[in-house]
């Protein structure tokens, strides 16, 4: 048995508090560092996400979306993206899109709907509040007289 006050003691019992103190300080620092890294990662993914509202049924690619609130998320580098539209956790549509830069940020969200000559409605672009770009859904056909663009602002 070794007591802290005995000078002849060869045990490292007196060093234990300082060793554990170092371990605790290191583990706290590591925890803070991991938390900060997770926060940065979450913010990085949040930048590629937004929300949209569809007021009446609309076609996106080959999928018809009923009226409602949706989350949009895009992946890709440069102007070519893959746009995923979700309702809750369920993916409703995935379509190719282009990121088109704009001169200034939009002050409100908007979906741009093309009303075709047969009356059907097709989502062709999404504008997000605070963003300086438009998500243009591909492919776009530039046929004159094929329909009219109807922005739905919410």
Q: Please write the tens of the pLDDT for every residue from 9-61.
A: 555 555 555 565 655 666 666 665 565 555 554 444 446 999 999 999 999 99
Q: Report whether 128 contacts 112 (CB < 8 A).
A: no
**Confidence (pLDDT) at 1:** 52
3-state secondary structure of 50: strand
3-state secondary structure of 89: coil
- What percentage of the chain has pLDDT greater than the value 90? 56
pTM of the model: 0.63
Q: 85 — phi, psi (to 5°)?
A: -110, 125
Name the residue ranges covered by the structural domains of the chain.
13-45, 49-153
3-state secondary structure of 109: coil
* Residue 136: pLDDT over 60: yes
**Confidence (pLDDT) at 77:** 81
């Amino acid at each position: 048995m070794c007591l802290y006050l005995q000078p002849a003691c060869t045990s490292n019992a007196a060093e234990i508090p300082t060793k554990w103190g170092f371990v605790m300080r290191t583990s706290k620092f590591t925890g803070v560092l991991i938390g900060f890294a997770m926060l940065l990662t979450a913010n990085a993914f949040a930048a590629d996400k937004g929300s949209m509202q569809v007021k009446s049924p609309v076609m996106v690619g080959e999928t018809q979306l009923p009226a409602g609130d949706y989350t949009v998320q895009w992946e890709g580098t440069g102007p070519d993206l893959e746009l995923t539209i979700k309702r809750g956790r369920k993916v409703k549509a995935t379509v190719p899109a282009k990121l088109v830069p704009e001169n200034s940020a939009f002050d409100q969200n908007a979906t741009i709907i093309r009303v075709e000559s047969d009356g059907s409605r097709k989502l062709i672009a999404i504008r997000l509040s605070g963003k300086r770009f438009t998500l243009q859904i591909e492919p776009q056909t530039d046929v004159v007289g094929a329909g009219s663009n109807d922005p739905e602002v919410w």
